[in-house]
Amino acid sequence: MRDADQIGDRVIWGRITFLDLALLASCAEVQCGLLMIALGLHLGTLNARETGKPIGGALMNRERGLKITLGVVGAVFLLLAYPMVVFFRADPSLSMMFSLYVTLGVLLLLAIRSPSDHSSLIAFTAWSSFAHAVVMGLQALLNIVARIELAGVAFLLVVGVVLIALAPVKRIADRKSPALSR
């Protein structure tokens, strides 16, 4: 039985653990799906970045893909509320880090309404995911933390790549010239 199926059975019976949440977030199917959405929508809009004209509705598909990604990532981050409470006394620093991700999850879910108005939040999520992945990956490779943390590294890298690839497009007509803004 696959990991996701086993986790699903434990969720139904109310026996989900933090490791289950981490495995669910790092399932290859979720990561590959997000990467395929991002790659397909990114390739379809390469020319749209410069012209601002959609190629066969690619900008609309790109926004839909970004909204789906924001929903998935926001929900996964929001799920960290449970371990945040569980580890409150046992590992306070982990609980503090989870509080940041839970807050970020709420903000990402709110950004679904209008991703272009929240481009800074989306960029912050992507680049902070890269930073966290690099630090955690080095710690796992140097045996400072458990090797299972590499699953989280993979998830954070996928989040960063997908959000950068689907970042809201600024059209040339929407950009202001530095000389005009004075």
Q: Which is higher by pLDDT, 6 or 87?
A: 87
Examine residue 35 and state whether it is found in any structural domain, yes or no. Answer: yes
Range of the domain at 128: 3-169
Q: How far is CA 51 from CA 48, 121, 171, in A?
A: 5, 25, 7
Residue 96 to residue 98: CA distance in whole angstroms: 5
Examine residue 181 and state whether it is found in any structural domain, yes or no. Answer: no
The total of structural domains in the chain comes to 1
Give residue 52's pLDDT. Answer: 52
Examine residue 135 and state whether it is found in any structural domain, yes or no. Answer: yes
**CA nearest neighbour of 63 among 11, 12, 113:** 113
Examine residue 176 and state whether it is found in any structural domain, yes or no. Answer: no
Label residue 174 left, alpha or beta by phi (over 0 means left) and psi (-120 to 50 means alpha): alpha
Examine residue 180 and state whether it is found in any structural domain, yes or no. Answer: no
Give residue 169's pLDDT. Answer: 76
Give residue 12's pLDDT. Answer: 36
Render pLDDT for 109-160 as a digit per residue (tens, 0 to 9): 999 999 999 999 999 999 999 999 999 999 999 999 999 999 999 999 999 9
Average pLDDT over residues 46-54: 50
Decide if pLDDT at 10 tops 60.
no
Give residue 41's pLDDT. Answer: 46
Decide if pLDDT at 36 tops 80.
no
Residue 71, Cβ density class (10 Å: 0-12 exposed, 13-18 middle, ≥19 buried): middle
Examine residue 177 and state whether it is found in any structural domain, yes or no. Answer: no
Average pLDDT over residues 175-181: 56
Examine residue 129 and state whether it is found in any structural domain, yes or no. Answer: yes
Examine residue 126 and state whether it is found in any structural domain, yes or no. Answer: yes
Decide if pLDDT at 179 tops 90.
no
